[in-house]
Chains A and B, each alone.
Chain A
Amino acid sequence: MSDKSVLTGTWFMNGDHACCEGALAAGCRFFAGYPITPATEVAERMSRRLPELGGIYIQMEDELASMAAILGASWGGVKAMTSTSGPGFSLMMENIGLGICTETPCVVCNVQRAGPSTGLPTLVAQGDMMQARWGSHGHYEIIALSPSSPQEMFDFTIRAFNLSEQYRLPVIILADEVVGHMNERVVIPPAGEIEVVKRRKPTAPPGEYRPYQPDADGVAPMAGCGEGYRIHVTGLTHDERGYPGMNAATQEQMMERLIRKIRANRDSIIRTENVFLDDAEVVVVAYGISARSARHAVQEARAKGIRAGLIKLETVWPFPEELIRSVASRVRALVMPEINAGQMVLEMERCAGGACPVRMVAHHGGALIPPAKVLDAVRKALKGRP
């Protein structure tokens, strides 16, 4: 890897730029995108950085094309990504589905802003959480990570590439305007210390290779274009050869594989940071920028003698069901702050299953949730007050 691809050192950098550097450090050499606030800085930096690394930056005509182009590049054997925000993310849904169905590794960074529609282009929200989960038609599993700082933008982008290569699917980074635009310290380690997952290639010769026959971990090795395998790749329901099969049996086989490869590997995909859980009476569960408000509130609560804990979701999809279920069974309440009118909190309620109350701290977007509001919710939860 060229020296310039990993900018080892300690930097003062915004989240969008850190995302770009994370991608390059992970080996990304293709970016197709379309300018959109507040994700434009990812594209701008990519446009300057990729040519010097022998990579391609192409500004497409829209986000439909951007998403299609990164899938094409990925089949061409190059690690590829795009970045966007709400309106562009909506357009990408079509080909995110193609990426899921054809099991194409790539990364999509959504720097969220407030919606619906054009909404507040320059201001923060976390309103696309469910869109990331269910936005493309049909049923599928997805992986999404939620960074809460420029450092995590760097780290999680690398992890997003690794997960996408390992499990063969588009991995989504659910950042937000504040994380994207804030400048903070970002430590970039030496290249040798960065774990980079390489695409698993087939060992079977052409003729015997079945492009969608999974290995033991549920994931099939991936032959790319021009490698002599004469692969066929389609968004139609397909069998292990990649050939369309227009019947319920093929659909079932394909769906089982697409779902299983994620569900069966949940333990290695899901990461959370758990703080003060051992003796916590109330646990705040948060992700992205709101996890910072949550951490502050939990620290203040502890200083006041309140036994509060924190679960910071690094992986938001798949949702850490088992963890939430077990925590719900031993605490007095769960609290979730999020900058939407209640999305991930639905998952929390589902997992808590009535074992304890789940309190939401909602915000419609345009500003952060003040820690005091989270602390207030923690207090009320302890007193059992609405």
Chain B
Amino acid sequence: MKIRKPSKEPPVHPKDSLLRVERIPHIWCPGCGIGTVFGAVMGAIQKSGCDLDRLAMVSGIGCTGRMAGYIRLDSFHTTHGRAIPFATGLKLARPETKVLVVSGDGDLLAIGGNHFIHAARRNIDLTVICVNNLNYGMTGGQQAPSTPFGARTPTSVAGSPEEPFNFCHLAAACGAVYVARWTALHIRLLTNAITEAMQKRGFSFLEVLTPCPSSFGRRNKMGSALDTLKFYHDRSVIRNGIDPRDALLDYDNQIVVGRFVDIERPTFTDNYEAVNLRHAMPSPEPERPQGRRKP
């Protein structure tokens, strides 16, 4: 057997071309699920074969928001909650560019909830990936709209008194054309789902449950990141095509994952063009210049 000589060049990772390698090491904690999702996003981008100059990533603020800083695409790390409206402007101004929005649950669905609802309703052509770690990781694990009832966080030491959102149900109800939920354990299915979502025209939404061992796991006796993945493994049931309102996240019994919605619907741009063509815009008031025309 021939032994290969060690190369003088540092090894190249297959995803390096999509990474701002000069920015590594990243800020994420050991065991964090965001890196796994990030890997799946890069895998999906590579699989889709799309022109990287026609692809942009927009994020908000939080641990997941930092993804935009590591990907070698046109990437925009905006304000807390405003990734979707920023992406809306970007997409409408540059329709040939595919726009991915990646952010956390707090960012997209608490502070950014209103934008989420309306972008789905308008069917803006965006692929939105929500990394759901059940808490505000970056600020130290406070209660979020995804925090399970009774879970302990620094702002709910006795247990969260609130019922969490079912994001997939919300997205579907608002008109998203593609809705799916996976966990950081389902890497292959997740990668496929991101590829599928990117191919959709319109508002596609993916929720990914990820371990946050530093901020959430440790306070809720979930053990290590690996234990959280095991927890997902034991409780996840794949129910493709079910009504998203039944896609419950019942952490004591089962976590429903799968692709719940995959429909076609005209996008904002389709409708905007159709409506304005039909209307054949009249000139605004006043109809004619008043008095003399300037020479």
Chain A residues with CB under 8 Å of chain B are 4, 7-13, 17, 30, 32, 45, 48-49, 51-52, 56, 58, 60-62, 64-66, 68-78, 80, 94-95, 97-98, 185, 187-190, 224-236, 243-244
Contact = CB atoms under 8 A, between A and B. Distances in A.
B78 A230 contact: no
Nearest to B295: A190
B118 interface: yes
Given A9-B293, A51-B272, A52-B276, 6 more contacts: A10-B294, A11-B286, A49-B284, A75-B93, A94-B82, A98-B79
Contacts of A189: 294
A11 B289 contact: yes
Given A95-B82, A233-B76, A235-B78, A73 B272 contact: no
Minimum-distance CB pairs A-B, first 8: A76-B93, A72-B89, A9-B289, A69-B89, A65-B85, A72-B90, A76-B94, A73-B89
Contacts of A12: 286, 290
Nearest to A183: B286
Contact of A80 (B68, B73, B89, B268): B89
B221 interface: no
5 contacts: A11-B286, A56-B93, A56-B272, A73-B92, A231-B74
Given A10-B291, A73-B92, A233-B75, A51 B56 contact: no
A62, A66, A75, A229, most chain B CB atoms within 10 A? A75
A92 to B, nearest CB: 11
B75 A77 contact: no
Interface of B: 20, 22-23, 52-54, 56, 58, 68-69, 72-79, 81-82, 84-94, 96-97, 114-115, 117-118, 268, 272, 276, 279, 281-286, 289-294
Contact of B93 (A66, A72, A231): A72
Contacts of B75: 230-233
A97 B82 CA distance: 13
Contacts of B291: 10
Given A68-B78, A226-B97, A232 B85 contact: no
B253 to A, nearest CB: 36
A71, A77, A232, A233, most chain B CB atoms within 10 A? A232
A11 B276 CA distance: 26
A48 B79 contact: no
Nearest to B269: A56
B23 A243 contact: yes
A94 B293 contact: no
